[in-house]
Copies of this chain bind each other. A is one copy, B any other.
């Protein structure tokens, strides 16, 4: 086994809906990974410890050295609803500050280090948990982002994170994914598609409806989409939107509103290029949304949790650069 593929760290990206485990090598590379549907609200028998045991045991049981591999976990596992609540670290925060906020404890299944979230204090406080690790990973993967960048993590709660000099300096939260889900499942707007089935039309028609929603959001200007959400209904009632396309249109309205509002928030300064992190299909939709507003370019970087877990562990001294002298510069 080459030094660079020596198991060195177990990283867990443990969110609300899933648990992703990574066996990381001494250069931070991923040797193996596993995905379980064991988000903190969908735990298996045995709860947190049972899930931990299942994911970690196979890797730890391999040999003498692996038995003591440190485990670092990021995400909602460290929230009030998680295994243990880890106090937030204050914004601005970099990898070092996040590492200093690690909460270590000995569970019945073994020792674990939980990564803290980040809090932005003030009259309108804001928090993130899990995204800080993605950001740290993104900066490790692309050191050029550290100087000045705008990282967008679409999802249930989208985060728009400003990075400067390697620090998270400010962020905003848009509940776009959750809004879409509750409107789809529980509102009048979701009813036609719930009844028709969202797959009753072709991909082209769905894409056109999404683009139409984006355009309506862009054109809404300072009004925003609150007075236009109902067009999801009225365009269906007038026969201009087939029932199966209504949710794509609604998604366009909501993603477009996120974009519109975020751009309005930066109106006194040019927007840096946007880097998207997260699910590929969702990032693709956001990339289209950024293009519709045509104010800055956007590209997709992809999931950076494993790199972030490595970086935090490294900054905390849980893994040592000395262990493998071939470790690459971005991790330094």
Contacts and interface: CB of A to CB of B under 8 A. Distances in A.
A124 interface: yes
Contact of A174 (B227, B238, B240, B258): B227
A178 B172 contact: no
Given A125-B238, A183-B182, A261 B231 contact: no
A217 to B, nearest CB: 10
Interface string A152-183: 00000100100000000000111110110011
Contacts of A62: none
Interface string A80-111: 10000000000000000000000000000000
A296 interface: no
A223 interface: yes
Nearest to A126: B234
13 contacts: A125-B237, A125-B240, A160-B227, A173-B234, A174-B227, A175-B189, A223-B264, A224-B224, A224-B264, A226-B258, A227-B261, A227-B262, A227-B265
B157 A224 contact: no
A173 B125 contact: no
A226 B255 CA distance: 10
Nearest to A227: B172
Contacts of A238: 119, 121, 125
Contacts of A228: 124
A230 B182 CA distance: 15
Given A174-B227, A226-B174, A237 B127 contact: yes
A188 interface: yes
Given A182-B186, A186-B182, A125 B235 contact: yes
Contacts of A157: 230
Nearest 3 interchain pairs by C-beta:
A224-B224, A173-B230, A222-B222
Contacts of A221: 222, 264
A13 interface: no
Contact of A222 (B121, B176, B230, B267): B267
A17 to B, nearest CB: 13
A143 B294 CA distance: 49
A186 to B, nearest CB: 5
Nearest to A188: B178
Contacts of A80: 237
B265 A223 contact: yes
A104 to B, nearest CB: 23
A182 B175 contact: no
A185 interface: yes
A216 interface: yes
